[in-house]
Structure 1
Amino acid sequence: MALRAPTLTRPTPTRRVIRPIGLLTALGALAVCALLSVTVGTKPIPVADVWASLTAYDGSYDHDVIRSLRVPRTVIGVFVGAALGLAGALMQALTRNPLAEPGILGVNSGAAAAVVIAVIAFGAGGAAYVWPAFVGAALAAVAVYALGSRGRASATPVRLALAGTALTVVLQGLIHGAFVLNEFVFDRIRFWQVGSLTGRDIDVLWQVAPFLVTGVVLTLCLGPSLNAVALGDDLAATLGANIPLIRAATAVAVILLCGAATAAAGPIWFVGLVVPHAARVITGPDQRWLLPYAAVLGAVLLTAADILGRVVLPSSELEVGIVTAFVGAPLFIALVRSRRMAQL
């Protein structure tokens, strides 16, 4: 049984007040996480030194660490988290599938597999990850939908999740096989494949920034149209919505966001699953509010996970992709078991 389309009703006075206050609070939380991200690490650095490194750089070790490592890592984490949060919200809105998420539906693995193939075939690295990631994300999305809706069966949430899981297993097998057989590939992308912000410099952000910005702007413009789609295709069409155009634009936005995020930080799971559900508690089904919330909360979650990964082990770091998996996996199980979900 497919998930019912939400009915958009006029928000209550309480919700009208809570939405802007909640968004401002989330932005404040993001600012706190960003500050902690540049101060917390193997060597804690005082806030005064962080400020001095940005305003009066003196070439010292601490200033160099902040400017060349921690600030780029933090900025990339913010943008990647926002992209994944938006991509998850878009996928859930378009498919009416509460399990839709770039990792679960195989989009991240498709991008990662394409990058591995590019490394093997062409020795790709750095900026060259971007286009293979886009192509892989697009092909994986098409393949999952085709598998989930094969024959007369409709693409129900659980069928899509199962198709995405199956494709992910196949692609991960391909990736791990390449690691075993090709030492060059293993050395080149072993940390990237886990999902990591470690060692990312600001050039990575500039390389993917045009795609991220285009994807974010397109996504925020789609809010009213996705509200119409949520009412059902027939009713949306009577309201003047161009359903094929909305779907195509949403697919382009998802590919831009997922491809850029994966190229920058590797495949990171569950951010796109957790964030829209958290945002929906505050905003309700209105995509005009849900999408900005998803962007901010996605950035908060990823930066917070990165900070946690730095402090959870005494003398080492836990990659951010591992931390988000620990956070997201229990929620995924809870969603599958929920009575409001479609059943096999």
Structure 2
Amino acid sequence: MTLQTNRTVYRMALVLTALALLFFVSLLFGAGPVGWQDSLWLLTGHGEGLGEQVHFTLFELRLPRTLLAIIVGAGLGASGVVLQTVTRNTLAEPGLLGVSAGASFAIVMAIYWGASASALNLQAAMAGALAGCLLVLAASQVSGTRQDPVRLILAGAALSGLLLAISSVLLLLDQRTADEMRFWLIGALAGRPFEAVRFSGLVTLAGICVLLFRLPALSALSLGHAVAVGLGHRPWQVQLTALLVVALLVGAATAAAGPIAFIGLVAPFAARAWVGPDIRNSFWPSLLLGSCILLAADIISRLVVIPYELPVGVVTAFIGAPVLLAVVRRQRMPTL
């Protein structure tokens, strides 16, 4: 094994260890009355006399949200690194480019027309995410945008702002929609049943499997259309497949947990710093780091204002904003 391979294996082992540790911590701590001592006692097989509340809190509340954080984080991390490869832009991220906003808007519309927020509404979320993906691809082809990544982010911000404004009007007009969407719109992992976790996990797993088969083509595409064609790939076919899968992943994540921003930016940023820009090397680290970051943010959201909880989307915004500033400072800014 080469030195580079040894480093990659060591770093992957480190990330997996961190994820396992966060998983354990997530089961132990929460904002409710069940403390970590009781949770630890139950996990070690000594929970006979602890009562139903401890069992319910651990296995019906904390375990589903922990698994959902891992699934959603992995989907957003994978979506981020794929979007950045397709657009050849390190600022590309589902939350910043309007992809998550498209999925959220579609769910708001579905609930406004009579659907229930308790359902996943995956079809609506996928349709909205796909529309956002196609707009991102169209914007990336506009003259000047490809050379200036900040313009692409501004286009995404404009799209997100427009969809948010329309959603706000719908929430004002319909009290039922406002009641069902109030907490979900800023991202939340709590209160989701195992059925939602299982369904989101299957959809995310399917999307990741498709991307694994397309990693060589995506790596060639990151070098430019001419290089991709020279290597025997069809750039538009690769882009369309990638965006369809991104719509699937973002749609599943948004339907399950709401629009959670910055995971798709922070995870690929850290992965590239570790293993380099090639998506064949950075895909798995981005996926695992996305799970770690979202799970850590969820733990923080439970503990920072006990006995209440912060929406996890607020915590990820605090984590992602400094990273966004760091990435922007590395880009070539437009001159006046």
Aligned partners of 1:57, 1:182: CA distance in 2, in Å? 47
Instruction: State which drifts further: 25-34 or 286-295.
Output: 286-295
- Which residue in the other structure is 1:5 paired with? none
- Which residue in the other structure is 1:33 paired with? 22
2:27 maps to a residue whose letter is V
Q: Deviations over 1:269-326 (max 9, x none)?
A: 0000011010111111222221111111000000000001111113211111000001
1:251 maps to a residue whose letter is L
TM-score by length of 1: 0.90
Aligned partners of 2:334, 2:206: CA distance in 1, in Å? 37
- Which residue in the other structure is 2:190 paired with? 198
Instruction: State which drifts further: 159-168 or 43-52.
Output: 43-52
The question of whether the paired residues in 1 share the 8 Å contact of 2:134 and 2:243 is answered with: no
Instruction: State which drifts further: 183-192 or 110-119.
Output: 183-192
Q: Shift of residue 248 of structure 1?
A: 1.6
- Which residue in the other structure is 1:6 paired with? none
Q: Any unmatched runs of 5+ in structure 2?
A: none
Q: Any unmatched runs of 5+ in structure 1?
A: 1-11
Aligned equivalent of 1:45, options 1, 21, 36? 36
Aligned partners of 2:236, 2:134: CA distance in 1, in Å? 15
The question of whether the paired residues in 2 share the 8 Å contact of 1:144 and 1:167 is answered with: no
Aligned partners of 1:63, 1:317: CA distance in 2, in Å? 20
Does 2:281 align with 1:281? no
Aligned equivalent of 1:228, options 220, 223, 227? 220
Aligned equivalent of 1:303, options 295, 303, 320? 295
Q: Shift of residue 220 of structure 1?
A: 2.1
Aligned partners of 1:38, 1:274: CA distance in 2, in Å? 24
1:333 maps to a residue whose letter is L
- Which residue in the other structure is 2:160 paired with? 168
Aligned partners of 2:101, 2:244: CA distance in 1, in Å? 18
Aligned partners of 2:197, 2:42: CA distance in 1, in Å? 24
Q: Percent identical across equivalent pairs?
A: 36
Does 2:135 align with 1:143? yes
- Distance change >3 Å, CA 227–CA 149, structure 1 → 2: closer
Q: Deviations over 1:175-219 (max 9, x none)?
A: 222222221111112111110111112111223333211111112
Count residues with an aligned counterpart.
330
Aligned equivalent of 1:20, options 2, 5, 9? 9
Q: Deviations over 1:211-235 (max 9, x none)?
A: 2111111122222222211222112
Aligned partners of 2:18, 2:3: CA distance in 1, in Å? 22
Q: CA RMSD for the aligned pairs? A: 2.0
The question of whether the paired residues in 2 share the 8 Å contact of 1:126 and 1:204 is answered with: no
1:291 maps to a residue whose letter is F
TM-score by length of 2: 0.92
Aligned partners of 1:144, 1:132: CA distance in 2, in Å? 18
Q: Shift of residue 146 of structure 1?
A: 3.0
